[in-house]
């Protein structure tokens, strides 16, 4: 067997072995945030650090390497400075202001100035990297983002991008009308300029049905919160009448 052939077989064997040891989705979900971990090689942090350890490691003059190895180092946290583009995650985020600035610049390049606030669901989709819930719908091992069909519908069927146009074309013809360019939501969501920043090398997959492990619209959370508040208020009103 020639050396190149042996090397190719070894490479294929290693690839198959690695793939076979990836857990089935969603059992292989990660705990940490993608953007707060290594850029090209996500590493699960497992070192348990007490508050005293963190104070020692992470303070000025401490041990940066030990600090970054703590299992909570890549956890979602309240961002400071605050986020301006992905401000909906200012209480708890999986990104920093630097990531937020990149997302803002990328989104601004997608639309004309007068249309930047016309598509809130697309804005929210672009902020995937800041979502504190991303571990529930991002398969890091396979580089797949799972999108709920209801959110896919809001990002494609229920919105008219053609009234503004999107900068998805070429230098000679930058702005196009998506409805006439793309046949369905999957192809549209997998366009390199539509994929959220930092996730351009991921595949966007629309799941068959809504579940706990797919990316949902922010409005779904708002509706759920409103429903809960209404139920609580009704309970208080009934109790006061008894």
pLDDT confidence of residue 23:
86
Domain count, the chain: 1
Q: What is the pLDDT of residues 127-138, one digit of tens each?
A: 999 999 999 999
Share of the chain above pLDDT 90, in %: 79
Torsion of CA 201, 92, 99, 27, to 10 degrees: -20
Q: Is the pTM of this model over 0.85?
A: no
141-194 tens-digit pLDDT: 999 999 999 999 999 999 999 999 999 999 999 999 999 999 999 999 999 999
Question: Is a pLDDT exceeding 60 seen at residue 30?
Answer: yes
Question: Is 14 a member of any domain?
Answer: no
**Calpha distance 97→84 (Å, rounded):** 8
Per-residue pLDDT tens for 79-98?
999 999 999 999 999 999 99
> pLDDT value at position 240?
58
- In this predicted model, which residue has the larger pLDDT, 179 or 225? 179
pLDDT of 207 over the 80 cut = yes
**Domain ranges, residue 181:** 23-229
3, part of any domain: no
* Residue 21 φ/ψ, nearest 5 degrees: -100, 10
90 domain-assigned:
yes
Q: How far apart are the first and last CA of the chain?
A: 87
Confirm if 62 and 40 have CB atoms less than 8 A apart.
Answer: no
Is 12 domain-assigned?
Answer: no
Q: Can you give the pLDDT at residue 7? A: 52
Give the whole-angstrom CA distance, residue 62 versus residue 133: 31
Q: What pLDDT is recorded for position 161?
A: 98
- Judge whether 242 lies within some domain: no
Cα–Cα dist 69/38, whole Å: 11
Would you tell me how many other CB atoms lie within 10 Å of the CB of residue 3? 7
Does residue 174 form part of some domain?
yes
Residues contacting residue 175 through CB under 8 Å, at least 6 positions apart = 112, 165, 166, 167, 168, 169
Q: Is 126 within a domain?
A: yes
36 in a structural domain: yes
């Amino acid at each position: 067997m020639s050396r190149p052939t042996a090397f190719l077989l070894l490479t294929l064997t290693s690839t198959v072995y690695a793939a076979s040891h990836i857990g089935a989705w969603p059992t292989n979900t990660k705990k940490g945030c993608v953007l707060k971990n290594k850029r090209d090689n996500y590493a699960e942090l497992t070192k348990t650090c007490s508050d005293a350890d963190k104070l020692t490691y992470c303070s000025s003059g401490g041990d940066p390497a030990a600090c970054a190895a703590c299992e909570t180092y890549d956890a979602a946290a309240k961002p400071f400075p605050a986020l301006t583009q992905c401000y909906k995650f200012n209480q708890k985020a999986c990104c920093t202001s630097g990531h937020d600035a990149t997302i803002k610049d990328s989104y601004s390049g997608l639309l004309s100035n007068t249309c930047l606030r016309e598509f809130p669901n697309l804005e929210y989709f672009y902020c995937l990297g800041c979502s504190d819930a991303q571990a529930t719908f991002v398969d890091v091992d396979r580089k797949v983002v799972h999108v709920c069909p209801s959110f896919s519908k809001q990002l494609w069927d229920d919105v008219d991008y053609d009234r503004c146009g999107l900068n998805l074309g070429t230098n000679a013809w930058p702005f196009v009308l998506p409805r006439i360019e793309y046949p369905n939501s999957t192809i549209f969501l997998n366009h390199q300029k539509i994929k959220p920043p930092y996730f351009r090398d991921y595949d966007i997959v629309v799941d068959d049905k809504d579940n706990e492990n797919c990316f949902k619209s922010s409005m779904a959370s708002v509706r759920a919160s409103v429903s809960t508040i209404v139920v609580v208020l009704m309970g208080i009103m009934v109790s006061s009448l008894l």
